[in-house]
Amino acid sequence: MLNDRNQGVRVKAAEAIWKIDRRTYAPVQVLLEVLQEGPDEARRDAAAVLVQINAEPVITIPALTKALKDKDVEVRRNSVKALGQFAEKAEGVIPNLMEAMKEPALRDTAAEALATIGKPAIPALIQGVYGFNAQTRLGAVKALGKIGPEAREALEALNNLYYRSKKEMNAELEEEVDKAIQRVRKSAGDKKK
């Protein structure tokens, strides 16, 4: 079934085999092949299964990174989710996730992935807060808020953006920055802006 002509069948077979034996590499190889050259629906499914299996980073990160340029937004979204699982390889993943935040359809998924990575993503997220791209700024704010107290080093950037958003009368950004500041300060009991 892994060699079936129907790419969708190959994805389902790979998923089933992986559930039975998580040590085998064959299903991962099939998923990566389908991700690169299958039809839209099969590529979406392959990326979604890769999210579940958290396969070997050395093998999957390059394919998932390439899939961030896919024409299908669901393939890109599932690739972002999968990349967020690689905190141990964060240095190679973070720039791609920051880039993905520029796309409105991927912003929240990329922010969630960066929040999952946590502390290693904070310096890039701080740069994102100061960035020119509005989607990246908003995504970085959301990710820092989800990281919470561990992101205390971002408070200065968040405070600056809060006052800037007030001055620019950007209510959506102001509200998200305020939420992030409160979450970051949560454990310390520090409530001032």
Final residue belonging to a domain, choices 60, 83, 106: 83
Same domain, 64 and 141: no
pLDDT at 141: 96
Same domain, 180 and 107: yes
Same domain, 70 and 133: no
pLDDT at 92: 80
Same domain, 107 and 67: no
Same domain, 97 and 181: yes
Final residue belonging to a domain, choices 83, 118, 150: 83
Same domain, 102 and 55: no
pLDDT at 191: 52
CATH number at residue 52: 1.25.10.10
Q: Report the alpha-carbon distance of residue 8 to residue 35 in Å, rounded.
A: 11
Containing structural domain, residue 156: 92-193
pLDDT at 139: 93
pLDDT at 54: 67
Please report, for residues 9, 33, 48, 77, 177, the alpha-carbon distance to residue 5 in angstroms, rounded to integers and kept in the order given. Answer: 8, 13, 20, 26, 50
pLDDT at 189: 54
CATH number at residue 159: 1.25.10
Same domain, 23 and 64: yes
pLDDT at 123: 95
Residue with tokens 């999957």: 60
For the chain, which residues score pLDDT lower than 50?
Answer: 193
Q: Which long-range contacts (CB under 8 A, 24 or more apart) does 187-190 make?
A: 187/148, 187/149, 188/149, 188/152
What the block records as the tokens of 151 is 């992101």
User: What pTM, to 2 d.p., does this model score?
Assistant: 0.80
Same domain, 97 and 10: no
Same domain, 128 and 162: yes
